[in-house]
Structure 1
Amino acid sequence: MGRFARAEVQQALDNYNAVVDKCSDTGDWSPFADLFTEDVHYVEHAYGVFDNREDVRKWIVDVMAPFPQMRFEYDWVAFDDDNDAVVIGIQNVLYHPTEPGVKFGFPNVTRLVYAGNGLFSSEEDTYNPARDAPSVVGAWVQAGGTMLCAPKVAMKHVVMNGN
């Protein structure tokens, strides 16, 4: 058993989800960073590593600027009680601009480690947006979706083909 009860980790995850949903609803991603400790270790396989809350804040605001209403829908959740961690299968989703229920998305696996006081001390996102995002975002744009600006953040690690 880890340092925290599953119920406390679940409550923090429920809050995480509520904040992410609100960020998607409002297009303001700044509050996302407040889900983490000040010394968070955030590993983003495409964009790099961030070791503090304010770097996460700058990155998330900038990376979400072109499509701030992107949603993050769960496929599954697994708890690692020994390490106070949660692993989540997520779809990064853009909704069709005119056809309700039609979605454009690609998979992501996220691991969060809970640190207490409702905050997470780490997040690691494992996915391949260099491979998956161009076709998904391209199809969304072709369907009438509009990016609000050009991308503000360049990927640091690009793997086009791979497992």
Structure 2
Amino acid sequence: MAQFPRDEVESAFRRYFLTGPVGEDWAAWSRLFTEDATYNDHFWGTFHGQAEIQQFLEGTMSFAAHVYSPLVWYNIDGSHIVYKVLNRADNPEPGGEPIEFPSLQVIQYAGDGRFSSEDDWWTVAEMKLFNQRYTAARERAGDRARDPLSRLDWGTWVDWARPPEGHQPKPSWVGKDVPPIASLRDMTFGVRHPRPAR
């Protein structure tokens, strides 16, 4: 496996995180993967290459427009980076606490500013509880509900991993005909993982 200077890996990761989770430019973010990259989400499935990765991210994120991802910590070990984010939504009720659940990502740096893989891990039960809490809060807020694209609290954990002051979110799926992905039934590409017998 090729070895890269830590400064190079760190710089590439910062660009990666600022382009995707912070800037929400999932089209540009997908191009930070190699052409033969593998993106594995333990729930949604495995996606190959830049086009599938972009389709997956824009489809799932357009359905969950209220979700953004502050960076809690990251660790670089050679060409591997492990990082934790909070999948966060600003509470639709003004004054309410953010609603969130954690996830862990492992990515592999491949050189030339690109990544060859990402693996995402999160707990389905926590995601379902997140959805229930958000839906209930939105119903309670009614006409007072916050804009789903508000991104009010990027945390205090990693100072560079947040947008600049005055940033107005405009995810790359806005204004495009992107079919939202709400469930596994909507997934017409990639490879599904076998589900354990109940």
Bin the TM-score by the shorter chain. 0.7 to 0.9
The answer to whether the 8 A contact 2:60-2:180 is kept is no
AA at the equivalent of 1:114: Y
- The structure that has the greater radius of gyration is 2
Structure 2: segments with no counterpart, 5+ residues: 139-144, 150-178, 186-191
- Closer, same or farther: CA 16–150 of 1 in aligned 2, 3 Å: closer
The answer to whether the 8 A contact 1:62-1:153 is kept is no
2:159 aligns with: none
- Output the CA distance in 2 between the equivalents of 1:62 and 1:138: 21
- The answer on 1:18 being equivalent to 2:18 is yes
Q: In structure 1, the residue corresponding to 2:101 is in which secondary structure?
A: strand
- Output the CA distance in 2 between the equivalents of 1:133 and 1:56: 21
The answer to whether the 8 A contact 1:29-1:68 is kept is no
- The answer on 1:77 being equivalent to 2:74 is yes
Normalized against structure 1, the TM-score is what? 0.80
1:135 aligns with: 129
2:118 aligns with: 123
AA at the equivalent of 1:58: Q
Aligned-pair identity in percent equals 26
Q: In structure 2, the residue corresponding to 1:111 is in which secondary structure?
A: strand
AA at the equivalent of 2:40: V
1:55 aligns with: 52
1:40 to 18, 37, 40: 37
- Dislocated runs of 4+, deviation >2 Å: 28-32, 97-102, 145-153, 155-159
Q: In structure 1, the residue corresponding to 2:129 is in which secondary structure?
A: helix
AA at the equivalent of 1:154: L
- Closer, same or farther: CA 137–90 of 1 in aligned 2, 3 Å: same
Q: In structure 2, the residue corresponding to 1:65 is in which secondary structure?
A: helix
Q: What is the deviation of 1:105?
A: 1.0
Q: In structure 2, the residue corresponding to 1:3 is in which secondary structure?
A: coil
- How many residues end up aligned between the 2 structures? 153
Shifted more, 89-98 versus 56-65: the winner is 89-98
1:154 aligns with: 184
**What is the CA deviation profile of residues 73-132 of structure 1, one whole-angstrom value per residue up to 9, with x for unaligned ones?**
222211111xx010012211111134367211111110011111111111000112x311
Structure 1: segments with no counterpart, 5+ residues: none
- Closer, same or farther: CA 98–106 of 1 in aligned 2, 3 Å: same
1:66 aligns with: 63
The answer to whether the 8 A contact 2:91-2:137 is kept is yes
- Output the CA distance in 1 between the equivalents of 2:13 and 2:113: 8
Normalized against structure 2, the TM-score is what? 0.67
- Output the CA distance in 1 between the equivalents of 2:32 and 2:6: 18
- The answer on 1:3 being equivalent to 2:33 is no
Q: In structure 2, the residue corresponding to 1:42 is in which secondary structure?
A: strand
Q: Which has the higher strand share?
A: 1
